[in-house]
Amino acid sequence: DGGITQSPKYLFRKEGQNVTLSCEQNLNHDAMYWYRQDPGQGLRLIYYSQIVNDFQKGDIAEGYSVSREKKESFPLTVTSAQKNPTAFYLCASSTPRYPGGDGYTFGSGTRLTVV
């Protein structure tokens, strides 16, 4: 079955460390997205990519970096510059065509905690 796999499910980061969250999809979707969700809050867009080797900053990109070397993969690195990284991170994918009746397919998320 096609879907999106995020790993790990839980991740702990020490102060000053960079960590990378994995997101892989086998849906043949061109577009992929990273969102951050804080407790009881909505989704805030970190980065998105609509095609391989291209990506754009979202609303809260500071302290994060991404790459899109393969269509299937869109890893997110949380750098030491991100001062408050503890949050739940969701990856999603979609076909890029507007108006896009399929919406998003979401991964199951990664909970990142700073220790």
Partner 1 sequence: AQTVTQSQPEMSVQEAETVTLSCTYDTSENNYYLFWYKQPPSRQMILVIRQEAYKQQNATENRFSVNFQKAAKSFSLKISDSQLGDTAMYFCAFPKGNNAGNMLTFGGGTRLMVKP
What does the binding site for partner 1 look like in residue numbers (CB under 8 A)? Answer: 31, 33, 37, 40-43, 45, 48, 50, 88, 90, 92, 94-104, 106, 108-109
Taking the C-alpha atoms of residue 64 and residue 79, their distance in angstroms, rounded to an integer, is: 6
Q: How far is the CB of 103 from partner 1 (least distance, A)?
A: 5
Return the beta strands (E) in the chain as ranges: 4-7, 10-13, 19-25, 31-37, 43-51, 54-57, 64-66, 76-78, 87-94, 105-106, 110-114
For residue 99, give both structure tokens: 């108006």
Which CB sits closer to partner 1, 82 or 110?
Answer: 110
Could you tell me the smallest distance in angstroms from the CB atom of residue 83 to partner 1?
Answer: 23
d(CA 101, CA 96): 10
Q: Which is nearer to partner 1, 43 or 79 (CB)?
A: 43
Cβ proximity to partner 1, 16 vs 103, nearer residue: 103
CB of 32 to partner 1, least distance (A): 11
Query: Among residues 73 and 105, whose Cβ is nearest to partner 1?
Result: 105
